[in-house]
Amino acid sequence: MEQRGDIATRARDGASFELRSGQFSLMVLAIRHLDLLQLQSELSDHVASAPALLRGAPVVLDLNPLSQLADHGLLRELVGRIHQAGLRVIAMAANPGAEAAAHALDLPLLGLDRRRTRVVDAEPAEPVAEEVPAADAEPPKPPGPPGLQPPLVLPGPIRSGQQVYARGRDLIITGVVSAGAEVAADGCVHVYGRLMGKALAGASGDVRARIYCLAFGAEVASIAGNFKVFESAPRDVAGKAVEIHLDEGRLEIRPLKV
Amino acid sequence: MGEIIVVTSGKGGVGKTTTSASLACGFAKRGKKTVVVDFDIGLRNLDLIMGCERRVVYDFVNVINGDCTLKQALIKDKRFDNLCVLAASQTKDKDALTQEGVAKVIDELKAEFDIVLADSPAGIERGAYLAMYFADRAVVVVNPEVSSVRDSDRVLGIMASKSRRAEQGQGPIKEHLLLTRYSPERVEKGDMMSVADVEEILGVKVIGVVPESPDVLSASNSGVPVILDEQADAGLAYADAVARLLGEERPMRFTEPKKKGFFQRMFGG
Ligand SMILES: Nc1ncnc2c1ncn2[C@@H]1O[C@H](COP(=O)(O)OP(=O)(O)OP(=O)(O)O)[C@@H](O)[C@H]1O
Ligand SMILES: [Mg+2]
């Protein structure tokens, strides 16, 4: 989602603060059913599947109309469980009728524009990349069309235990992603090699992001938080070049005809 | 200036020490002035496999702490006068190896020897990290099974991102895979990964394939590295690996199941 503050007020010169408008992209945690135990366990697993990206990440809570009606004790417990699972609720999505719940939880309401989910320059609170090949350093921005972020291009192999995150752009790996490695991008993830590890596209919520690889064998694939864990690759796509996209919130994997 | 070669693996018990001892003798035999250093602080195994355990007076940590000179701690091999061993300390202090201390010893050895072999402990903790940090080349010992391959992948990843070479802009550590405890018969039956499988998963070519062999254990028990046993397939495989590490081309041996003789086929066995 995109949150944009209007340039509010200008503090007088020499003031101890400056109030600016900032743009941040945030993940939205939409609650489908309010089953606290199920939610905590599934969410913990999900966080554990991509700790570099998710642990401690701020999220905006998106309660569906039914959940908003839950009693306030339950809502507080919900926020507590989300916290225990490793995410931090920092605001609530301003759905119709959400005011009471937001008030009860003492959370600000953020407008959620459902038509546009373009992700803007994201600046997550924590550094995410660990043991990333040296190339992860931000390259100087070459001149190009305004607003177009160059992709992060890394040679493979990305090995077990390594994590790569392309913030606010696509990620291109020219090689193998090993089992136990994790590659994530706010945009699309392209793997020109075997994908055996975890791949997360649309990491900040862009549902249009996609994952491509030359040979599919991923442990986990996720787009905008919709993920699938593969004990083993489905027969029809195992080892094949595939495209993974979201179809009405469902992760679809289909062989690329090449 | 000598070259530092680390023998590492991630997973324990895959054959690092066996390999270090054999490569050390192999390089010495080929005329290289060689030293082999045991980084497995607390355990100390290499001196046993090299057959010099009774002559250990000072060790690696003693040198770092300044209890003795490097010269005093180096144990000369009885078979090759261009081969030395630096034993590990049996201290339980895991922090006995300091980065500066190791750097100083390694650089002194590098000035003195053609080849400095570092026998890494298992895991990815301090000892293992320091063993690989200074390396110019790495021999990653891997067994043909899933967990060993996964650990090797992890180690290769760490090596690619953290090494003195990389930090000093000298390019990455050169990687070699050494497949040990290989059993062509089991590969053929489909219950062991093949050379090709391992190469494909790790994306690195193997520099040698050492077959599973009882000769290795008997060699270790007698303190004579298996490479010195010219009757043993495992020894010949290590000699090939040494030649390849020195840049020679050798065809792979011991990767196909042994052809059984006529009588064996008739009567089993
Ligand atoms: N090719 C081989 N065939 C049969 N046995 C082998 C072979 N290579 C190694 N071994 C046996 O495997 C065991 C472990 O070997 P070794 O001590 O060299 O491994 P290591 O990787 O150094 O272990 P650690 O991680 O504990 O340091 C020993 O008993 C050794 O004899
Ligand atoms: Mg050992």
pLDDT in tens, B100-143: 999 999 999 999 999 999 999 999 888 999 999 999 999 999 99
Residue B267 has what pLDDT?
62
| Angle, alpha carbons A135-A137-A140 (nearest 5°) | 105
Q: What is the pTM of this model?
A: 0.71
CB contact set of A73 (below 8 Å; sequence gap of 6+): none
Residue A1 has what pLDDT?
40
| Residue A155: closest C-alpha in chain B | B160
Residue A11 has what pLDDT?
60
Q: Is the CB of B213 under 6 A from ligand 1?
A: yes
Can you say how many angstroms the Cα of residue B88 is from the centroid of all Cα atoms in its chain? 15
| Residue B204: closest C-alpha in chain A | A157
Q: Which of B149, B156, B161, B173 to mutate to test the interface with A (most CBs of A within 10 A)?
A: B161
Among the residue ranges A26-30, A57-61, A203-207, the one predicted with the least confidence is: A26-30
Among the residue ranges A32-41, B47-56, B199-208, the one predicted with the least confidence is: A32-41
Output the CA B91–ligand 2 centroid distance in Å.
16
> pLDDT exceeding 90 applies to what percent of chain A?
36
Band of the pLDDT at B246, cuts 50, 70, 90?
A: very high
Tokens 């055996």 correspond to A196
Phi and psi, residue A27, nearest 5°: -85, 145
Complex ipTM value: 0.78
| Interface A-B: count of C-beta contacts within 8 A | 43
Among the residue ranges A96-100, A134-138, A169-173, B155-159, the one predicted with the least confidence is: A134-138
Closest ligand to C-alpha of residue B13 is 1
Tens of pLDDT, residues B37-54: 999 988 889 999 999 999
Residue A108 has what pLDDT?
87
Nearest CA to ligand 1 atom 16: B15
CB contact set of B185 (below 8 Å; sequence gap of 6+): B257, B258
Using an 8 Å CB-CB cutoff, list chain A residues near B203.
Answer: 156-157, 175-176
| DSSP 8-state code for residue B227 | G
Using an 8 Å CB-CB cutoff, list chain A residues near B201.
Answer: 178, 196
Q: Is the CB of B86 under 6 A from ligand 1?
A: no
Domains and CATH numbers, chain A: 27-127 (3.30.70.260), 130-255 (2.160.20.70)
Residue B71 has what pLDDT?
96
| pLDDT reading at A13 higher than 80 | no
Alpha-carbon distance values, A28 to A8, A54, A203, B95, B135 (Å): 25, 12, 11, 45, 46
| pLDDT reading at B250 higher than 80 | yes
